[in-house]
Amino acid sequence: MGSIALSRPIARLAFYAFLVALPLTTASNLTVGQKYPRTFLRVGPHLGGVTYDKPVVFSWPEIRNGTFQKAVANRIAEAIPIRPLLIHINNEMIVQMFGEVTAPEIFKGADGQLIERSYLEDYCSRTEGMGAKLAAIALPKLIDIQNYYESHGGVFIYVITPSKAADMPEYFASYLPCASTPAARTQLVPDYVSALRQAGIHLVDTASLIHSLKGSYPFDLFPQGGEHWNEVAGARAVSAIVEAINQQAGHEIIPPFKFTYQMSGVLSGADRELVNLLNVFFPPLSYQAPKVSFQPSMPCAESPARQLDVEIVSSSFGHLPARLMIEGNCLARLQLFYYATLGRFGGEPYRELQRNLSDSDLNAWRSAKVMILEENESFMASNKVAYVDQLRAVLKKP
């Protein structure tokens, strides 16, 4: 009895200490932690994903429409130290009891396949004849860009990359009402590509290439827990891109490679990017992914390609080709401009070199010997992103 009685005041004391510490540490995160991020206290596993602070603007219009209150509430919630722990507990309970995911931007299909909802929404909104309409929008921009590089002795290649929704619709389409017709979904890229090629655009359709390889390997070309292509798909795409560049150059300026792959557990990187956003204690990582090894056609230390100025302007689908081209094609000076200005990537190992680029940082595009412009089939010629327009504007400057 004595030991039981003794435990009660200790438990109470610990609980009271917690009640006092929670607002104090939250206040510290709101003040000191904002100025000195290393002092920001968090309890629990790291939260996957990126959140953006809503600006707290104290004004009567902001108060009347509730924006001020929401921004304050969001800022306080972000500062609570145990927030990561509570989120993981909540998400794990929902996954274990109902098999559902709580991240609103992620859709779970058959066999645990994950995808971002935006890719499904695009896939299901395709209409017949859309490919030709999008090509008419893109064509004037691409002609201007291609003419610039050809007139300056450079090579321009426009690359279309595949979406997981279009490559693996059997895992998702039956789970979501899809208003578009099968013909509209499958003909969008071929119609778009045909119109641009007829106009003379130097184009590499890696979307159709990857879709045509379905069933060629004992695994899908998109990982179960990711939305970007895996390394085998990337290697096949890079081989096609390098072949097109050498053809446009009239001789081999980039050495090709051969590759082998080995299946591996998923520890990090794009193969588990959506799994990371689930924020659970026991992420579903029982699947494997292929890891590629290269056999360049010549030692990279001896290759003139190491001095070649290659620039890539692209979406997130450009990261894997960029890394593979540096590692396997000896392109040591290659740089990727992520959505034009969000970041500049490159180097060995491949990494972010600069963030939030200025207009002057984009002048490297004007002197590139090889320019690769990538768009994913989910938003090609779309107004959702503006990096094609930015590239064109930089090249048209006097």
pLDDT tens digits, residue range 61-78?
878 888 878 877 878 878
CA distance 72 to 216: 53
pLDDT for position 6: 47
Read off the pLDDT of residues 351-368 as tens digits, 9 standing for 90 and up. 999 998 999 999 999 999
278, 259 Cβ separation under 8 angstroms = no
Judged against a pLDDT cut of 90, whether residue 307 lies above it is answered with yes
CA distance 228 to 26: 37
What is the rounded average pLDDT of the residues 271-295?
89
What is the band of 1 on the pLDDT scale with cuts at 50, 70, 90?
Answer: very low
Judged against a pLDDT cut of 80, whether residue 138 lies above it is answered with yes
Judged against a pLDDT cut of 90, whether residue 289 lies above it is answered with yes
Among all chains, which residue has been given the structure tokens 């779970």? 108
What is the rounded average pLDDT of the residues 163-189?
89
What is the band of 119 on the pLDDT scale with cuts at 50, 70, 90?
Answer: very high
Concatenating the DSSP letter of every residue in 330-342 gives --TT-EEEETTTT
pLDDT cut 90: percent of the chain above it: 60
pLDDT cut 70: percent of the chain above it: 97
Question: Exposed e or buried b for every residue in 351-390, given b needs 16+ CB within 10 A?
Answer: eeeeeebeeeebeebeebbbbbbbbbbbbbbeeebebbeb
What is the rounded average pLDDT of the residues 129-143?
96
- Cα dist. 323→127, 278, 337, 361, 368 in Å? 35, 26, 13, 21, 18
pLDDT for position 8: 74
138, 191 Cβ separation under 8 angstroms = no
Judged against a pLDDT cut of 60, whether residue 5 lies above it is answered with no
What is the rounded average pLDDT of the residues 337-354?
96
